[in-house]
Structures are given as structure tokens and as C-alpha cells.
Chain A
């Protein structure tokens, strides 16, 4: 204790009990409480106004009857839930193949060896093509076109799905894999390029070969970095599985639209939307949890 401390007066906290909140803590707490109140009020106001405007509109009773029919929902929701597994299964079959094939394409684009130049060209053309063509067209072309060629006959068995070589359960997922791996390849490539050159220099200076550098130093960092954007693509894959219904695969959306056709009521479509949300929201939370854990583990401070 110096005389300077005593003279500081109002500016410094007077000798306080250890552990008791400082003036700064008090201020932070006040500010937090204030933001919470503001956030709450604005949320309640926004949704309140929306609710009043929508429910008082002239068409609301009709919309409610057609889209938000409680009886229909109670009846259709459990039935649609029974088709959920088809969507999940198609997703689980596509996702690993997309990761592998996307990585292969990304690595092809990153090759520097002149012998492998054709691979680079192939990868560039591939990503341009499949990112440029709407997914639904790819599904049409692959799903209807290839089986029509009549090149393949008989049966196949693969990852729990088996059947005819012309089955939509084979060519539908293949179409999704072709299309999505083009996007995923670009995400991987961006990740690979984001790893600073000094990391390569560090690895090469230890005598690691180009391959070892890629395998042990560049790729692990690249992949970790692109997990959030990758999850984005996979969320959209989970939803686009519904597009396979055009090939005749009966899953949640397909079933919902046939119920709609039978009853003339759109509630099953809303129920299908709810099912997709049930599927996708936990997936997003999972990524958030993963990123937070990763950051906590390797340290480094986070800018507020």
C-alpha cells in the first residue's frame, strides 16, 4: 500500500472484500441485464405484431384450414415420421461417398506434378460442370438416362441397399454424389489453400516429402477449418434428398405430396417441413459444439 492508493479516492474501489464484485463487474452485470431486457422486448413485439397481422388477414381462416389443420397434422405426422428413415438412409449413403470423392477431386486440382496435368484439367472441368448444372437436372439425367442405356443388367448389393441395376435407389444417390462432391471439392480446395505457406516450409524443412506434408500438416488443418462450411453443404444435402422423389423414391416429401393429392390439404407438406427441421437442427448444433470444443482444446484466445 502506498499513499498514492489512498489518494485515489473515488477512482479506485475502496478496500473491498476479496471475491466481492468490483465496480466493473457491477457495470457489466447492469449492461447484460439491460441487453437481455431489450432483446426480449423486441422479440415479443416483432412476433406479436406478425401474429396479429397474419391472423387478422382476410385469408387466414382458409390458410389455417389448408396448411395448419390440427386434425390432419395429428394423422399425417406419425405416418410421415415412418418415412424419415428413408431420407436419413439416403443421406448416410451419400455423405461418406461425397466426402471421399470431393477430396479426390480437390487433391486432383492441387497436383503440381506435370504428369498429372490431365487430372487437374479433369477436376476443373468436373467442378465447373456439376456446379453449373442444377441438381435436379443431374438427377433427371443420371437417374433416368443411365438406366435407359441398358448397359447393366441383373442385381447389385451395396451398403444395405440392393436391387436392380436400374433402380432409382442406385442412380439417385449417385446423381447426388456427383453433384455435391463438386461443391465439397471446392470447399476442400479453399481449405487447403488457406493453410499458410510457412506451414509447408516448416514441414519441408524437417525433410517431410510433399506427400507427407500434405498428409500430416496441410490436410488436417484444412479439413478442420472447413468443417463449418462443409456442414452447410451437408445440411442442404439432407434437404435435397427429397429431390430424389422425382425418380420415384418414396420418402417423406413424396409421401406428403401424395397425401396432399388425396386429401387436397397442404398440412402434410407442413408436417414434412417439421420433420426436416427435426433432422437438420440437431446437425447444426453438433457442428457448433464441435467447433467450440476444437477451439477450447488447441487454445488460443477468442476476440470478443
Chain B
């Protein structure tokens, strides 16, 4: 087994018996070390839920999720040591508004990894500097633009030195100008060899950055493959239809 992350036959549904809604229907997915996988599909297709399940924020109903070959979805397993190894970035940033940018970033390293404050701060400042945010260290999240907030959120996840990053539609709440700066950060992470799973609506970006693209519809991965093939010559009619709609809306 050499996949960094392996999702096996995962099932997930919300709601009680009668109005049960299946959100993930026998989803399987392998992500190798340094690989970048993009999840595309309409809203409600299960992309976000899949990412939340991988990070154990949502329990799965059946199947297994393996990190380095170890089942992390085992019921009763302490999720905290696993989440430490997986970075997650959310659509709405989820920064802590009562803490300065620097404090947001050092919280994990100091409280979870038990690093001392001084080294956590210097590591955080180094990261902020790398993403041209050094002058924002003492600002509060509400004083930043959306793009800056999202970059801080990425830095916050990176400060934990994760082995895997999950990015959940991280540009969906941003205007086109700010999207660019966030995408640059993701390109940067790819260049550094970060293993990533992204849910995204930015098709051009998905095409450029990913090694594998998965198309989800109604909780099923209908098709996956290298971007060159999936975007130009999709095997499934549903994929073609989805891409045509995206093109029609001018997002590709």
C-alpha cells in the first residue's frame, strides 16, 4: 500500500431513516504522496462532506479511510492525533476573530504540538513572510480582506506541518481579484510537494494544478482521471454535461 490517503467504499448519509439523504455513496479514492487531487461537481454533490469525513469532522456510516495504510475511521479512535497530521482550510476561513493573526497561527503549535511560544512565533512569522503577510501579524481577522484571511487560514494549517492538506472550496467566497492570490499560495504548496485534496469550482485552476480530477455527482465519483483527459475527453455523459454548463457560465 503506498497511497498516502485511501478512501475505501465510504458511505455517509444525513437525516433519520425516512428522509435519509445519501451524501456519499460507496466513494473510493486513492491519493499518493505529493499528489494533488481535485474534486469537482455541482454544489451538494458531496465534495465538502468527503473532505470533512477525511478530517473526521463527520463520522462515516460505512467503509474505511486509511492514512498511510492505517484505518483512521475506526470508531472510538481518538481523532486529535490524526487531525494534527491533516491540515484543513474552509470556505469561510474559520479564523478565530478574537485572536490576532499571529495568535491564530501559533495556537495549534503551542497547544497541540507543545512548542514553546518563542519558536512557534518565529516559525509563524517566517510563514507569514513567505506569503507576504508579515505586516498583518498583529492585525485581527476582521481587519483583513477575504483573500488575506484565507491566506492566513492556509498559513494556520501549514504551521502544524501537516502531511496532507484538505482545501474545501477555499476561493468560493472571494472575488476574482482575490482568488488569484489564494491560488498562488496553493501553487506554492504544490511546488513544495504537499499532498492535497481540493474541492473547487475553479475549473481552470483544477486543470492546471491537479494530477487527478474526480467528478462527483449525487455522492458518487462518476469519473476520475488526469485533467488533460477528463476536461477534454470525458468518458461519461454527466461529466460532459457538467463541464458544458461550467463553460456556458464562463468559468472555464
The answer to whether residues A199 and B111 also contact, given A205-B83, A206-B83, A207-B81 and a CB cut-off of 8 A, is: no
**A205 and chain B: residue at smallest CB distance:** B88
Does A216 sit at the interface, judged by CB under 8 A?
Answer: yes
Q: Which B residues from 29 to 76 make CB contacts under 8 A with A?
A: 52, 55, 57
Partner of A299, one of B81, B108, B142: B142
The answer to whether residues A299 and B143 also contact, given A208-B111, A212-B112 and a CB cut-off of 8 A, is: yes
Contact A202 B140 (CB under 8 A): no
Contact A207 B108 (CB under 8 A): yes
Contact B92 A206 (CB under 8 A): no
**B160 and chain A: residue at smallest CB distance:** A206
Contact A199 B94 (CB under 8 A): yes
Contact B140 A299 (CB under 8 A): yes
Contact B97 A221 (CB under 8 A): yes
Partner of A300, one of B90, B113, B142: B142
Residues 197-211 of A, flagged 1 when their CB comes within 8 A of B and 0 if not, give: 011011111111100
* B residues less than 8 Å from A217 (CB atoms): 96, 107
* A residues less than 8 Å from B79 (CB atoms): 204
Does B192 sit at the interface, judged by CB under 8 A?
Answer: no
Contact A206 B108 (CB under 8 A): yes
Does A163 sit at the interface, judged by CB under 8 A?
Answer: no
Does A23 sit at the interface, judged by CB under 8 A?
Answer: no
A240 to chain B, nearest CB (A): 32
Contact A202 B97 (CB under 8 A): no
A contacts with B: majority SS: helix
**A294 and chain B: residue at smallest CB distance:** B98
Q: What is the CA–CA distance of A216 and B86 in the complex, to the nearest angstrom? A: 20
Contact A298 B108 (CB under 8 A): no
**B81 and chain A: residue at smallest CB distance:** A207
Does B201 sit at the interface, judged by CB under 8 A?
Answer: no
Q: What is the CA–CA distance of A205 and B84 in the complex, to the nearest angstrom? A: 7
* A residues less than 8 Å from B113 (CB atoms): 207
* B residues less than 8 Å from A299 (CB atoms): 139-140, 142-143
B52 to chain A, nearest CB (A): 8
Size category of the B interface is 20 to 34
Contact A207 B142 (CB under 8 A): no
A218 to chain B, nearest CB (A): 10
Contact B90 A201 (CB under 8 A): yes
Does B199 sit at the interface, judged by CB under 8 A?
Answer: no
Contact A208 B95 (CB under 8 A): no
Does A285 sit at the interface, judged by CB under 8 A?
Answer: no
**A225 and chain B: residue at smallest CB distance:** B98
Does A248 sit at the interface, judged by CB under 8 A?
Answer: no
Partner of A207, one of B52, B84, B140, B143: B84
Does A224 sit at the interface, judged by CB under 8 A?
Answer: yes
Q: What is the CA–CA distance of A141 and B91 in the complex, to the nearest angstrom? A: 55
Q: What is the CA–CA distance of A300 and B244 in the complex, to the nearest angstrom? A: 40
Partner of A297, one of B83, B92, B140: B140
Q: What is the CA–CA distance of A202 and B92 in the complex, to the nearest angstrom? A: 10
Q: What is the CA–CA distance of A224 and B108 in the complex, to the nearest angstrom? A: 22
Contact B96 A203 (CB under 8 A): yes
The answer to whether residues A212 and B111 also contact, given A204-B83, A205-B55, A207-B160 and a CB cut-off of 8 A, is: yes
Q: Which A residues from 211 to 227 make CB contacts under 8 A with B?
A: 212, 216-217, 220-221, 224
Does B151 sit at the interface, judged by CB under 8 A?
Answer: no
Between A and B, 25 residue pairs with Cβ closer than 8 Å are: A199-B96, A202-B94, A202-B153, A203-B107, A204-B80, A205-B90, A205-B94, A205-B157, A206-B156, A206-B157, A207-B81, A207-B84, A207-B108, A208-B108, A209-B80, A212-B111, A212-B112, A216-B111, A221-B96, A221-B97, A297-B140, A298-B98, A298-B140, A298-B143, A299-B143
Residues of B within 8 A of A (CB): 52, 55, 57, 79-81, 83-84, 86-88, 90, 92, 94-98, 107-108, 111-113, 139-140, 142-143, 153, 156-157, 160
